[in-house]
Amino acid sequence: MELVVRPAKTLNGTVSVPPSKSYTHRAIILASLARGTSMIYNPLYSEDTLASIEACKRIGAEIITGKDNDLQIKGVFGRPQNPKDEIDVKNSGTTLRIMTPVCSLCNEEVFLTGDESIRKRPMQPLLDALEQLGVSTTSNNGLPPVSVRGPLGGGKCMIRGDVSSQFISGLLIASPLAAGETDIKVLTDLKSRPYVDLTLDIIEKFKGSVEKCQDSFRIPGEQIYESTNYVIEGDYSSAAIMLAAAALTDSEVSIDNLQLESKQGDRKIIDILRFMGANLRAEGNTITLTGSGDLDGIETDLSDTPDIVPAVAVLGSLAKGKTLIKNVGHLRFKESDRLKAMTTELKKMGAKIKEGKDSLEIHGVDALKGAKLHGWNDHRIVMCLAVAALRAEGESTIDGAESIPVSFPGFVEKMQGLGADMTIKT
């Protein structure tokens, strides 16, 4: 499928962004491990979160979709069942990396696999940590498919923090249910730290206990998660894409369903846009951006917020002066190598962008040109290239549009509602 985009001078209207994918994953998994029945209100239904639902059903959770699309989840009381067959996480790296430690609570071997993209995602740091905690593991030279055989008993482990914060989130979610105390020491700088903070926040909501130090975590064993009713907030990663589109055009766009005090690290997009000169105002749970397309380049460290890097790269491509995005080498281990993907595709559009080992250096241009673009089978790449195409001269086509529902079902329709000329071509 291709996404066809034509330039737009203005965007106007109010739009709701999808619920947070990160919170939805974690709420589903924690409710599935808890004692009793939880209600998850306003969950995101995307290909990724559906993978977590199916994985949790495989370990014994009973999950029912209610009339308002809320989720009713009866948990396994801290004792996940041994799945009869392998767990297929499809394209969901979050499901894979959290459910691998969860499945290590089982006392029989559990296999986890996924699609072609997932089978290229590194898992060795997580598997090494699980081995230190007494779990037997196998993999394809550190890549999926993987298997784990527990039960996870606690102990001490060390793990790198510069590949994926999801490794640590998975350990933090599973370890309270281990037989003994677990001590996790992070050996390197922890990239994407806000995602770990988000995990700790929701663990607390389900009555779990984790003691956090500067570079380590202590988790008492034999805990039980308690069922709870939980409302999923709006997703700042998705909001970043819509706000970038508004900032690059002569527009007034309001986005509701956003908690201004959210623990989501990607709320940093608000500060970035202000530093670049965009006019934003907040009222209640609504953020309004009045755009003119007139932005200034910035230097910014996005090590903690990798999901907004593609959007900031597009903003920098059309901003005055130089934009430098630093400390983002871990983007090479996402659904695609996102540094290479954005550099390659934006160059096709006439952007002046240079890829470093862990950075992007961009010198803004007045306008981009329409082009035939590759979406790298990556939902964020496709959507952010679509935003760039709004400020291009001529039509752009982006392949891989079928990946968009991984995180943002309804993206094209919402952009059309704001006045964008976007269509899906099969």
Domain boundaries, the chain: 2-18+234-425, 21-231
Alpha-carbon gap, residue 136 to 151, rounded angstroms: 9
CA atoms within 13 A of residue 347's CA, in its CB half-sphere: 11
> Token pair for residue 321?
């002066």
For the chain, 426 residues long, give each residue's pLDDT as a single digit of tens: 999 999 999 999 999 999 999 999 999 999 999 999 999 999 999 999 999 999 999 999 999 998 889 999 999 999 999 999 999 999 999 999 999 999 999 999 999 999 999 999 999 999 999 999 999 999 999 999 999 999 999 999 999 998 899 999 999 999 999 999 999 999 988 888 999 999 999 999 999 999 998 889 999 999 999 999 999 999 999 999 999 999 999 999 999 999 989 999 999 999 999 999 999 999 989 999 999 999 999 999 999 999 999 999 999 999 999 999 999 999 998 999 999 999 999 999 999 999 999 999 999 999 999 999 999 999 999 999 999 999 999 999 999 999 999 999 999 999 999 999 999 998
Pairing type for strands 299-301 and 322-326 reads parallel
* 369 DSSP β-pair partners: 393
> What's the full length of the chain, in residues?
426
Q: What is the pTM of this model?
A: 0.93
* Cα gap 390→379, rounded to integer Å: 17
Domains 2-18+234-425 and 21-231 share a fold: yes
CATH class of residue range 2-18+234-425: alpha beta
> Which one, of 154, 156, 134, 158, lies nearest residue 215 by Cα?
158
- The fold for domain 21-231 equals UDP-n-acetylglucosamine1-carboxyvinyl-transferase; Chain (3.65.10)
130: DSSP letter: H
H or E stretch at 282: strand 279-283
Amino acid at 283: E
| Residues labelled as active-site residues | 307
